[in-house]
Amino acid sequence: MKNVKKLIALSLVMVMSMALFGCMRDESTIVVDEQNNLTITESMYIDKQEYRDMIVSLSDDKTEAEIDQEIEKAFKDAKSTIIDGKEYVYDDTMINVKVEKDHYAGMTINKDIFYMPITNAYKIMDDSNNLLNTGGDADLDEAMKKIDDLTASLYNIMVVRTITLPNEIVYTNGELSLDKKSATFKGTINEIIASGGWYAMTAAGYEIYNNDSVAPSVQGVASGDYLPNLNTVFAEDNVAVLSYDINGVEYQIGQSGDTYIYTPVKAPGAESKEGLKEGENTLTVTDVKGNKTAITFNYDITSPVISGAKNGKTYKKSRTVKVYDAQGVKKIAVNGKVKNLDNLKKSGNKYSIKATKKGKNTIKVMDNAGNVTKITFKIKK
C-alpha cells in the first residue's frame, strides 16, 4: 500500500501540472496562400478564475484568502486582458508565437481545405479508478477523485482557431468573416467532440470533399515490408485522414519533425485486442469519407541470434556458428564478405556457418527489418 500511495501522489503532481492547461485559452491563426504556404501564430492565456478554482479544490490547509494572496503574487508581473467576459493573464512570451505545421499533425491544411477530424484520441479518457486499487483507503480514494477531476478539467481548455484561405469559403461549421475568406472556430475539447470536427472549404475544396472516393495514400511502408519501427509511416489524403488502425486498435499519430509517433487508443470493444505486435500486422487508414487503405506488414524489433561462438571469446579450433531470426535473415557477412544465403546450410530460419580462419573472426547478421547482431571472436593459430 505504501508504494500505491507514492504512485498516486506522483500521479497527482503530474496531473496537476497538466490540468493547468484546462485553465487556458489556446488561440491560433492560420493563414494559407495560393502556393499553400502556411503562417501560423499561437497565443496562450490563463483563465484566472478557473486557475483559482483549481487551486482551491486541491488545497486542504489554506484559506481562500491565503490562496488569493498567493495567486496575486504569482501573477504580479503578468499582463491581464478581458476576453468573452473573463479575465485572462499572460506574458509576452505566450502570445503571437510562430509555430510550425507539424504542431498541427492530423489536420488537413491547404489553400482549399481546412479539416480537423475528431478521432478516439479526443473521445477516450482513462478512468483512473480502474488503474489502481486503493483498498478502501479514504485518503487514497480522495486523491484518486482529485486525479479524476483534474483529468476531466483538461477537456475544459478553450480552443480558438481562425483559418484564412486565399478564396471564399463556401462550406464550414465555423463563423465566417465578412469577406468569407476566414472562418473562426471556438469551443472546449468536449464541444469540439460534439461538433464532429471543424472544417472550412472553398468551392474547389468542397467539390473534392463531396465527390471523394479516393482512399488515403500510405507512405513509409508497403505490404510485405519488414519494419523495426513506425517512425516514418504516415498517410496523406485529399480531404483528411480520420484514423490509423492496427489489428483493430486505433492509434493516435503525433509528429516531431520528420518522426511520427504512434500512441494506442483503446476504444470500447478493442480492449482485448493486442494492437501492434511483433510479426504480421495490418494497418488500416480511413479518411473522413470512409475510404480505406489496408497494408499488411511485419514488425520486428528483435535482433538476430548468433550461437556457437561468443563475442570476445578465444577458441582452440574452428567453430560451427548458427544464425537465427524468427522473421528471416537478410544478410550474413563473415570477415567483411557477404555470404550467398542459398549456399549455406539452412533449417527453417536458422543458418549454419563454419568459421575456420585462424585469428580474429567477425560475423555480422542483418534481419529483414534491418536489425543487426555482430560478434567478434578468435581462433588460436
pLDDT tens across 55-84, in order? 777 666 778 888 888 888 878 888 989 998
CB 342 within 8 A of CB 335: no
Query: Which of 283, 299, 315 is the last residue before a domain boundary?
Result: 299
Do 183 and 134 share a structural domain?
A: yes
**Distance separating alpha carbons of residues 75 and 93, to the nearest angstrom:** 14
CB-CB neighbours of 343 under 10 Å? 7
Alpha helices by DSSP H, listed for 75-155, are: 120-123, 138-153
Residue 341 has pLDDT above 90, yes or no: yes
| Better pLDDT: 256 or 172 | 172
**CATH number assigned to the domain comprising residue 331:** 2.60.40.10
Query: Which of 177, 210, 243 is the last residue before a domain boundary?
Result: 210
Do 228 and 201 share a structural domain?
A: no
State the chain's maximal CA–CA distance in angstroms: 88
| Better pLDDT: 58 or 128 | 58
Residue 133 has pLDDT above 50, yes or no: no
Task: Report the amino acid identity of residue 322.
Answer: K
CB 320 within 8 A of CB 380: no
Residue 109 has pLDDT above 90, yes or no: yes
Do 187 and 65 share a structural domain?
A: yes
Range of the domain at 80: 2-210
Do 202 and 125 share a structural domain?
A: yes
The structure's pTM equals 0.74
Do 174 and 61 share a structural domain?
A: yes
Q: Per-residue confidence at 359, pLDDT binned at 50, 70, 90?
A: very high
Tell me the average pLDDT of the chain.
Answer: 83
| Residue that has been written with the C-alpha cell 484520441 in this structure | 121
Do 121 and 45 share a structural domain?
A: yes
Residue 377 has pLDDT above 90, yes or no: yes
Do 193 and 50 share a structural domain?
A: yes
Q: What is the pLDDT of residues 267-324, one digit of tens each?
A: 656 566 778 999 999 999 999 999 999 999 999 999 999 999 999 999 999 999 999 9
Do 147 and 52 share a structural domain?
A: yes
Query: Which of 299, 317, 350 is the last residue before a domain boundary?
Result: 299
Do 323 and 294 share a structural domain?
A: no
Do 56 and 145 share a structural domain?
A: yes
Count of structural domains, the chain: 3
Element (H, E) at 295: strand 292-299
Q: What is the pLDDT of residues 200-242, one digit of tens each?
A: 999 999 999 999 999 999 999 999 999 999 999 989 999 999 9
CB 173 within 8 A of CB 199: yes
- Among the residue ranges 12-16, 98-102, 194-198, the one predicted with the least confidence is 12-16
Residue 89 has pLDDT above 60, yes or no: yes
Do 281 and 181 share a structural domain?
A: no
